[in-house]
Amino acid sequence: MRSDLLLLPLVLSLVCEGMILPQGRLASESGGPARGATGAAHLKLKPAEWRSLNERQFVMRSLAGGGAKEMAGFGAVVADATPEEFIKAFSSLSVFKRSETTLACGRFSAQPVIEDLAELEVNDKDLYALMRAKVKESNIKLTEADITRIRAAAGPSPYFSPKLKAKLAAEYKQILFDKARRYAENGETTLDIYADQEEAVSARDAFVAMAKFQATTAGHNPRFYSLLSQSPRQTAQNTESFIYWAHQKFGQLKPVISLVHVVIYRDDDRVFIALKQIYSSHYIEAALSVGELIPIGDEKGAKRTLAAYTIRLQVDLLGGPMGFMKRRAAQPRMLEALETVLEGLRQCAESMLMERRS
């Protein structure tokens, strides 16, 4: 199984660099829930899993997917930080900027403008893929309308010259801006129908099915999932909502350009942070990740956070008659990647707490 399916924008984009703090323990050494962790009952953590969390280890599970091309996983970890550090890390994009995989990223304005993409540089491989893109035959994810725009910019007999590359880059960035602007205004109704492969794929239909399956199995407040369908301009009370873009590298794989909607929702003392894919240039047709931050404490009253994280990905390469075998082979590696995500999240939150105290 190739690792293309595993090192994906909404998996490894959260890995950030930081100092690992000295290991500590939660109040319950016997394997029971930590003090103040009554809000974690729906996670159904077993005594052995609590013991792992007590020792700063991870709890990892495979999850059932709602579709044939979907991969899903769950992980939990305890951080010596409060939910506020996690919120700050996402709101400021520090959790992404600190990652070695991030080439560039930026937060869109409440009313997106093309200047929000000023720091994005489209590489030559993607520009070449744009020049050659055709409906049902494209090495970069595009809609039929996108392909029409790109071909008009390239002209009838394109030559891969510096002038053409500049034109293609400008048109592609305009396409990305238009996607962000439309989404900011109208939410998930604007999600694309990809025409890069033989069978067209509706990103909207894929996400709606994914979110519905997650909402019925996670045991969360249903209102939280209704917020994901709204545009960032429809921000509800106790909610922060924004769009960011990221350009990320993954070893020998194609760098990925993604647009993501972030929803941060406070439900009493708990916090939910959801990342919803609006667009990805490669690999992913739909994606949703949900982080649940549950405040807990130890016997000395120190504030900590139980971070429970679920990720769901609809991957184009998992289609076809052999898709189930590819998914079965990839699932363990996906959990390994998710563990790396959790460690990165913990390091980032704990580092931000240290910065705040210094």
Residue-wise pLDDT for 301-311, tens only, equals 678 999 999 99
Answer yes or no: is pLDDT of 15 > 60.
no
What are the residues whose beta carbons fall under 8 Å from the beta carbon of 75, sequence distance 6 or more?
58, 59, 60, 61, 308, 309, 335, 338, 339, 341, 342
Find the helix or strand (DSSP H, E) in which 338 lies: helix 323-357
Per-residue confidence band for 171, with pLDDT thresholds at 50, 70 and 90: very high
Structure tokens belonging to residue 36? 């103040």
How far is CA 7 from each of CA 252, 277, 284, 341, rounded to the nearest angstrom? 11, 15, 11, 11
Instruction: Return the structure tokens found at 191.
Output: 């999600």
231-256, pLDDT tens digit by residue? Answer: 888 777 889 999 999 998 866 678 99
| Predicted local confidence at residue 97, as pLDDT | 82
What is the pTM for the complete model shown?
0.87
Q: How confident is the model at residue 134 (pLDDT cuts 50, 70, 90)?
A: very high
| CA 191 – CA 298 distance, rounded (Å) | 44
| CA–CA distance, 124 with 104 (Å, rounded to integer) | 16
